Amino acid sequence: MTHTTDCLIIGSGAAGLTLALGLAQKAKVIVLSKSDVCAGSTFYAQGGIAGVYNIKDDQDSIEAHIKDTCIAGANLCELSSVRFVAQNAKNSIQWLIDMGVPFDTKEEDTQKEQSPYHLHREGGHSHRRIFHSEDHTGRSIQETLVQRARENPNITILENYNAIDLITTTKLQMAGNKVLGAYVLNTKTDKVEKIVAKFVALCTGGASKVYQYTCNPEVSSGDGIAMAWRAGCRVANMEFNQFHPTTLYSELDRNFLLTEALRGEGAYLVRKDGTRFMQDYDERMELAPRDIVARAIDHEMKKTGSDCMYLSICHKDAEFIKKHFPTIYERCLKIGLDITKEPIPIVPAAHFTCGGVMVDKKAHTDIQDLYAIGEVAYTGLHGANRLASNSLLECVVYGHAAAVDILSRLDCTDLYDPNEIPDWDESQVTNSDEEVIITHNWHELRLTMWDYVGIVRTNKRLERAMHRIELLKKEVHEYYSNFKVSRNLLELRNLLTVSELIVRCAMMRHESVGLHYSLDYPNKLEHSGPTILKPCI
């Protein structure tokens, strides 16, 4: 089966839907979702979206937002990108408000203040500037944008479609390097289909699923990064994997993130005996950037031999906790934990990919007519560590920028003849009766990355990881060449590619900075920049 469209958007989170809605007045759009349309990371974002909304507010400024972002990013952010995002924050937030996102407002008796919105403060931020919808901001944004997209006749959402690879002129041995579409697996029929498009946008999110422990959803397997790399795009800063400091530690409920807004509202990080420890690591204590807090928790766990540390907000008023953190309160209550009365057991878990496919301020990649938006991309915004609640902002800002650029080029870009693009060839492959091999290799890879390429690294650990990755790549390549594709196989293939990119970047950085901490290179270099890898195709 062949589909044609003006723009194929691979990914259905905030980045993809922002782009789709920006294009739909003039263009036909297909939005591809690997699972349910709400299965991506956007839906699970709790904290909010950062931005200085009231420019006249003496308590905050765009320059302060820029400064906080650069400090959190260990001064490896690209200043022009940070400024671009911070300056476009207000318009992006206003667009979400216009779409109908129900951000929390202040109590009635404070409505005389300049802004009607209740703002959170999170780690690394010098001011309250986080717009939120209780503690389920991502869900509110996702559901609102999905509703708007479903109402638009120019947007087609294809759920349970897994992108396999990009179709480019290079792969078809033609001149230039232009994207023409993609091969995709319809997981409902197990048939590979072809989508031909004038433009393609990768909005597939990050790659935290390379790690054994992550608070990301199952779909975060680095698909867009891997596909772009195989097609010839550069990637950058893949060594900077953010571990969220506070993920619920419980056998009854795994992978549940506890928003940074808890610490912003006064929650303490404590040992089992109730004593605080962040004062031993950073003067900002619980409000230090995530890389610092995650390493502190990791160090305390190793030092004390504990399986976890604790996050306590029970010194706050119970009604305040229930009002501002209803999702967390109810979720913990289901496992017998009342956060108004007792501390929450927590551990760090892989959360965000700060590197990715290199793009410019219009979200262009190295391949003509191919865009990358959101966590899949390296924009220079995050540097060595992402500032809390800048991720959703990046999705919307670059989604709008890409939409403007595509619309300006829509009428002068031709759709390639679908008949000239070969269909997917399955004539040389058979159905596999050994799916257990994929499962085994999948678990081995994720445990290898957790053990050797985690919060603290060494040269020897990285070498061991690379050795295992190379062996697994050979096995999976043989499997991929002989059997029909499945979602698990495609994800494993992509995870192996991304894992290799992470390790290669980590090996290249001979310093400890931000999210990359090496016992062999404990100091930060005086001058350093992004780690860039260029594929050989």
> Of how many residues is the chain composed?
537
Answer yes or no: do 67 and 135 share one domain: yes
Average pLDDT, the chain: 92
* pLDDT category of residue 362 using cuts at 50, 70 and 90: very high
Give the separation between CA 493 and CA 11, rounded to whole angstroms: 18
pLDDT band at 384 (very low <50, low <70, confident <90, very high): very high
20 lies in the same domain as 3? yes
pLDDT of amino acid 108 = 57
Render pLDDT for 391-427 as a digit per residue (tens, 0 to 9): 999 999 999 999 999 999 999 999 999 999 999 987 6
Interior/surface letters 441-461, b for 16+ CB within 10 angstroms, e for the rest: bbeebbebbbebbbbebeeeb
Are 34 and 112 in a shared domain?
A: yes
Angle at 328 between CA 323 and CA 331, to 5 degrees: 125
Per-residue pLDDT at 101 exceeds 70? yes
CA–CA distance, 426 with 99 (Å, rounded to integer): 43
From 376, 403, 426, give the residue that closes a domain: 426
The CATH number given to whatever domain includes residue 40 is 3.50.50.60
- Does the structure show a pLDDT above 70 at 441? yes
Q: Which among 352, 373, 351, 353 has a CA at the least distance from the CA of 362?
A: 373
Comparing CA positions, the residue from 125, 131, 17, 146 lying closest to residue 70 is 125
| 476 located within any domain | no
Which of 292, 319, 351 marks a domain boundary?
Answer: 351
Q: Which helix (H) or strand (E) holds 161?
A: strand 161-168
Is the domain of 72 the same as that of 184?
yes
Residue 474 lies in a domain: no
Q: pLDDT tens, 61-94?
A: 999 999 999 999 999 999 999 999 999 999 999 9
The pLDDT of 202-210, averaged and rounded, is 96
| Sign of torsion over alpha carbons 214, 200, 488, 470 | negative
Would you state the pLDDT for residue 78?
Answer: 97
Do residue 66 and residue 129 come from a single domain?
yes
In whole angstroms, give the CA distance from residue 221 to residue 445. 12
CA angle 258, 378, 64 (to 5 degrees): 65
- 254: domain range? 241-351
Catalytic residues: 290
- Same-domain check for residues 404 and 336: no
In the listed set 298, 328, 351, which residue is the last one of a domain according to the structure? 351
What residues contact residue 361 under an 8 Å CB cut-off, 6+ apart?
Answer: 80, 81, 84, 379, 398, 401
pTM of the predicted structure, to 2 decimals: 0.91
Contact 11, 225 (CB under 8 A): no
C-alpha span between 392 and 402 (Å, rounded): 15
Q: Are residues 28 and 118 in the same domain?
A: yes
List the beta bridge partners of residue 257: 247
Residues 6+ apart with CB under 8 A from 23: 6, 7, 29, 154, 403, 406, 407
pLDDT band at 433 (very low <50, low <70, confident <90, very high): low
**Phi, psi angle pair for 115, to nearest 5°:** -115, 135
CATH number at residue 260: 3.90.700.10
- 154 is a domain residue: yes
User: How many domains does the structure of the chain reveal?
Assistant: 2
Confidence band (pLDDT; 50, 70, 90) for 251? confident
73 and 85 fall within a common domain: yes
Query: How far apart, in whole angstroms, are the C-alpha atoms of residue 434 and residue 437?
Result: 6
Ranked by mean pLDDT, which of 1-10, 250-259, 323-332 comes out on top?
1-10
Structural contact between residues 163 and 494, judged by C-beta atoms closer than 8 angstroms: no
Residue 432 has pLDDT above 70, yes or no: no
Co-location of 263 and 176 in the same domain: no
E strands, 322-422, in order: 344-353, 356-358, 370-372, 377-378
Place of tokens 């991309």: 377
Residue 524 has pLDDT above 90, yes or no: yes
